[in-house]
Structures are given as C-alpha cells and as structure tokens.
C-alpha cells in the first residue's frame, strides 16, 4: 500500500514516528514521507538519522496540529496521514486542561478538516487504553478524538478520505513508562509501587507500529482496531526490573486505574474478533460499513481487560522486554 505514496505523520519526531520512519524507509518505497511536528530540535536530531537530502523521500515540516492553515499546506498532495501528535502525560494534561483540549481535540478536528478538504485518501489516528471509560482528562480527550475520527467518515462522503483508529496499551520503554523508572530506582535498592494488585497491557514499539501499518492497509473506514497483546502484574514487573529490591507502596495516584481496559463491555456488543485483534465497529454508521471476513462476534457481556487477559508475560519475558530484547 505504501509504495509510491505521499505519507505524513503528525507528531513524527516522537518514538512512534521514529520507528515508523525506520520501518517505512527500510521495507517500503514511499514517494514522500513527511515528518510533521512542532519541535525544531527534535527534527534536527532526527534529520541526522534520516536525512532529507539527495534521493531521500523524507521531508520535515515544522508545524502544530492546532494550526489548521499549516496543516492545509502540509497535506497538499498527501495520500496517507498517520495522526500520532498528542499531549500524553496524564499529570501535565490535568494541570493544563485547556492545552490538552487544544491539541488532542481541536487538533484532531483540524486534521480531519484538512484531510477532507485536501483530498487525503486514508487517515489513521493513534489512541490509547486510557480512552476507555476515562477517569482522567488525557483519556477523556482521546475518547473525544476517537469519536471524531470514527464519525469523520460521515463528513467525508463516498469519495472522501477513510478514517479509522488504532487503540493499544502501554508501549515498552516509551516516555512515562514504568520500566525505565524501575531500572533507575534499582540503583538505590528501593522501587515505588502504587498498588500491588495493579495489572497493565504491554506492547513493543515495533509491534505497535507494524500493527498500525497493517490496519492502515486493511481498514474500511470507521473501525477502532485493538491488538491482542499480553498483560503483566506489577509485582512481576518489579521482580523483573529490580530483583531483590525493597518495595515502597505509595498508594494509587489520581487519574490512575488498577486495571486497564482496551474493549469495554458496552463496546463488545458491536465488536468482532480476529486472530490477532479486535475490531470495534461504528455504532452510528451513516456510511457503508464493510464486514470483516473470518471474524466472529465478541461474546455478549465480555470485555478485554488487563486483569482478565488470556495472555500473560512471565518475569523472564518482562526482563527481556525491559532490557530491549524483543
């Protein structure tokens, strides 16, 4: 799908964008690969790895998703947009709620408008498990963004772009991940744990990017894609990252859940199951919705939660992930 196409990634200098660029340049032949982000320093650093000179298809655009006019310019002749730009730190979003709304909600609207008006063919937005039954502002903004991207298909019409969403859990080693924190804390012999009952979903950056790429190829428009990924118990994680260290229980923090959910019980009523993923179908499709061959309906009353997952990471598997071994 990606060969000879013009592809743009918002938030392209983040961990997702860097890995996406690496895989895209190694395994595909895009006509242009546009890295759209607001940070000139991060673009300069990324340019040292992926130069934009000679025959390179890479292009760097400084811009903010809050700026609709800049998006209109950047989306000129673009075929595929991967929307990864967001404010993601839960405490920062709580302390700066207007800023989170401007980027995660208004920015999403600007991406949708620019994609429709500039004739983009395919748009895939990246979401998070925090968007399911949200209890913090970050999750609430991502829930709004999900709704907007799904229903954007009602605005684009038959000939307009197709919009879908990929939603997954914690990315191993990403900004804010607890794994690097535990590795740092083990140097002083004590790790901090909020609650020993806690469980989390985990996905490697490589798998997350490849999941997004595959779903972008397969999407019909209006779906929320959820990968089948393993869970871990927080105490197994401490044993893997900081064996033999003392544990200081500090209590669950505001805006944090004991367990994460990727498909809620309410969403399960209109979700289908495939070998490697769940596909949540749109609830209000004013456009033609395609069936997914080989899928089965998700069981009534079920959900996909980190504490009731069928796949669990062992202590040794967690250790390998934490040390960067996939």
Specify which residues 165 forms β-bridges with.
125, 224
How long, in residues, is the chain?
326
Share of the chain above pLDDT 90, in %: 84
**Model confidence over 243-292: pLDDT tens digits?**
989 999 999 888 889 999 999 999 999 999 999 999 999 998 888 888 89
Tell me, what's the pLDDT at 325? 54
Tell me, what's the pLDDT at 157? 84
Q: Is residue 317 part of a domain?
A: no
Query: In sequence order, which residues have a C-beta less than 8 Å from that of residue 284 and are 6 or more positions away?
Result: 151, 154
Name the residue range of residue 45's domain.
6-169+202-228+262-304
Any idea which of 81-95, 138-152, 278-292, 312-326 has the lowest mean pLDDT? 312-326
Q: Is residue 249 part of a domain?
A: no
Give the DSSP letter of residue 106: I
Q: Is residue 291 part of a domain?
A: yes
The CA–CA distances, whole Å, from 288 to 69, 153, 293 equal 31, 10, 16
162-168/224-227 β-pairing: parallel
Tell me, what's the pLDDT at 176? 64
Closest by CA position to 221, among listed 312, 278, 286: 286
Question: Which residues are catalytically annotated?
Answer: 130
Q: Is residue 253 part of a domain?
A: no
Q: Is residue 197 part of a domain?
A: no
- Work out how many domains the chain is built from and give that number: 1
The phi and psi torsions of 3 (rounded to 5 degrees) equal: -65, 135
Specify which residues 64 forms β-bridges with.
none
35, 60 contact by CB (below 8 A): yes
Tell me, what's the pLDDT at 177? 74
Q: Is residue 33 part of a domain?
A: yes
Q: Is residue 174 part of a domain?
A: no
121, 1 contact by CB (below 8 A): no
Is 108 in a helix, a strand, or coil? helix
**Model confidence over 278-319: pLDDT tens digits?**
999 999 888 888 889 899 999 989 999 999 999 999 999 999
Tell me, what's the pLDDT at 286? 86
For the domain that residue 293 is a member of, what is the CATH number?
A: 3.40.50.720
Tell me, what's the pLDDT at 164? 98
Q: Is residue 191 part of a domain?
A: no
307, 259 contact by CB (below 8 A): yes
**pTM, two decimal places:** 0.95
Any idea which of 139-143, 269-273, 322-326 has the lowest mean pLDDT? 322-326
pLDDT band at 326 (very low <50, low <70, confident <90, very high): low
**Model confidence over 162-192: pLDDT tens digits?**
999 999 988 986 766 788 888 888 888 999 9
């Amino acid at each position: 799908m990606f060969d000879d196409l013009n592809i743009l990634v918002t938030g392209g200098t983040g961990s997702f964008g860097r890995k996406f660029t690496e895989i895209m340049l190694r395994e595909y032949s895009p006509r242009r690969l546009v890295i759209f982000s607001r940070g000139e320093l991060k673009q300069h650093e990324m340019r040292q790895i992926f130069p934009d000179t000679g025959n390179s298809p890479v292009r760097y655009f400084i811009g903010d998703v809050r700026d609709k006019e800049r998006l209109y310019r950047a989306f000129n002749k673009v075929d595929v947009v991967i929307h990864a730009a967001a404010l993601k730190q839960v405490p920062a979003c709580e302390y700066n709620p207007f800023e989170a709304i401007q980027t995660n909600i208004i920015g999403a609207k600007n991406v949708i408008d620019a994609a429709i008006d500039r004739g983009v063919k395919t748009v895939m937005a990246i979401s998070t498990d925090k968007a399911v039954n949200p209890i913090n502002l970050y999750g609430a903004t991502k829930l709004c963004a999900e709704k907007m991207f799904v229903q954007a298909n009602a605005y684009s019409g038959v000939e307009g772009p197709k919009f879908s969403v990929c939603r997954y859990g914690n990315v191993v080693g990403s900004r804010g991940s607890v794994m690097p924190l535990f590795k740092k804390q083990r140097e002083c012999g004590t790790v901090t744990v909020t609650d020993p009952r806690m469980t989390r979903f985990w996905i490697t950056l490589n798998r997350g990017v490849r999941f997004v790429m595959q779903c972008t190829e397969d999407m019909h428009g209006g779906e929320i894609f959820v990968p089948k990924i393993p869970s871990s118990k927080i105490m197994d994680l401490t044993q893997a990252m900081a064996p033999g260290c003392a544990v200081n229980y500090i209590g669950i923090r505001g805006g944090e859940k004991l367990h994460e959910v990727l498909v809620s019980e309410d969403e399960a009523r209109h979700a289908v199951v495939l070998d490697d993923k769940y596909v949540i179908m749109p609830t209000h499709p004013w456009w033609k919705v395609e069936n997914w061959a080989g899928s089965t309906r998700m069981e009534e009353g079920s959900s996909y939660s980190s504490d009731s997952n069928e796949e669990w990471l062992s202590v040794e598997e967690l250790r390998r992930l934490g040390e960067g071994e996939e």
